[in-house]
Structure 1
Amino acid sequence: MSLYAKPGVETACLTLQDEAGLDVCEVLFHCWLYSSGLEAIPAALAREREQRRLWQCNVTAVLRGLRRDLKAMAATSESVKALRSTIKQAELMAERENLQRWQMWALEAPSNEERVVNVAEKTSDASKWLRKQLLINPYDGFSEDCLKQPPTWLKSLQTLTCQLDPHQGAR
């Protein structure tokens, strides 16, 4: 996704992953939906979110853990450095696969199952929309109340939304 290459987006995504416990692939998925004028239906999203969470836990996180565990040894061993590089590529491939699965889920729904809906008009506050998609739903522990004292990672959401809609800062 070209969004990830835009200034500040990678750092924002990693902050949301590390500080808010969000899945970067799901964050990017919702950004793609927003850009496409779509929104996931919450009940359908909850079912797929569990499938994607399992992929992240059983595949991506395992690879990430291996890569991080080898960091110190890679500083003194060329062979471990090469192994770590290979694991990093596998981790990126696992994330790419997860992103593709999110996209296929949205685009290839059976005719009797609605997963996403067209949004008639994009909200004037993309940050609030994205926050709602990722954090405020009956399936997680976040609520509007917890956002009255906003955590520092909300700035990362703002960075993302400014890249999604460059006019956000001017409104």
Structure 2
Amino acid sequence: MLDSNRLRHLEQMPLWDFALAFYSEPEVERACLTLQDAGGVDVCELLLHGWLFVHGLEALPDALAEQRQSRQAWQRQVTQVLRHLRRRLKPEASNSEAIAALRKTIQQAELQAERENLQRWQAWALDLPEPQQRLRNRAETSHDVEKWLQDRFFFAELEAGCAAAPDTHESVSRAWLSLATRLDRFEVPR
């Protein structure tokens, strides 16, 4: 049975607010970008799992798999396109104020696309009246936050992809550990 207190606390802290607070924690931004660039991890989904975790909840795997496809399509078709454009324009932006302004506009659009994605994740998680079809109470006995987080992202598959590049494997492992440490200590603002 889904704990109504946990669900109520989740509803009181929007995913976007959690994302801003958690992302500003030391090392979190770097860890998220490492996992995104080296491991192909969707940072918005990563933030969803963190948000659920700090409220003592987790997504049910089957329900998550369906939503993950929709959210990944958004990331591919919208957010990644904007990110690619922003990164592509970086060298030119240092020599042109007009390109720098364009790049800033694209960066704002990319951030808005990520915010929209997070809002869609939140709507999915809290879709009433049946959130118990998507969420469950996280076992309080789970002390290994890093493994819990890695399990949400099929870490064994990601790790196999990084095995050929020891430096990448090392940086991805450090990123997971850094996120888990911050997540385990994260205090939900009251």
Question: Normalization by structure 2: what TM-score?
Answer: 0.78
The aligned residue for residue 157 of structure 2 is 142
Q: Per residue, is there more helix in 1 or in 2?
A: 2
Identity of aligned residues (%): 50
The size of the alignment, in residue pairs, is 161
Structure 2: unaligned runs, 5 residues or longer: 1-18
1:107 equivalenced with 2:122 (yes/no):
no
4+ residue runs over 2 A deviation: 109-113
RMSD between aligned residues: 2.3
Unaligned runs of 5+ in 1: none
The structure-2 alpha-carbon separation of the partners of 1:97 and 1:129, relative to structure 1 and needing over 3 Å to count, comes to same
Residue of 7, 16, 19 corresponding to 2:38: 19
1:80 equivalenced with 2:95 (yes/no): no
User: Which residue matches 2:185?
Assistant: 166
Question: What CA distance in whole angstroms lies between the structure 1 residues aligned with 2:47 and 2:153?
Answer: 11
1:54 is displaced (CA, Å) by: 0.4
1:1-171 correspondence to structure 2 within 5 Å: 1=19, 2-109=21-128, 111=130, 114-135=133-154, 142=157, 146=160, 151-152=169-170, 153-166=172-185
Whole-Å separation in 1 of the counterparts to 2:45 and 2:32: 10
Further displaced range: 158-167 or 63-72? 158-167
Tell me the distance in 1 between the aligned counterparts of 2:59 and 2:46.
12
**Partner amino acid for 1:107?**
L
Give the TM-score taking structure 1 as reference length: 0.86
Q: Quickly say closer, same or farther: Cα 1:109–1:45, change in 2 above 3 A.
A: farther
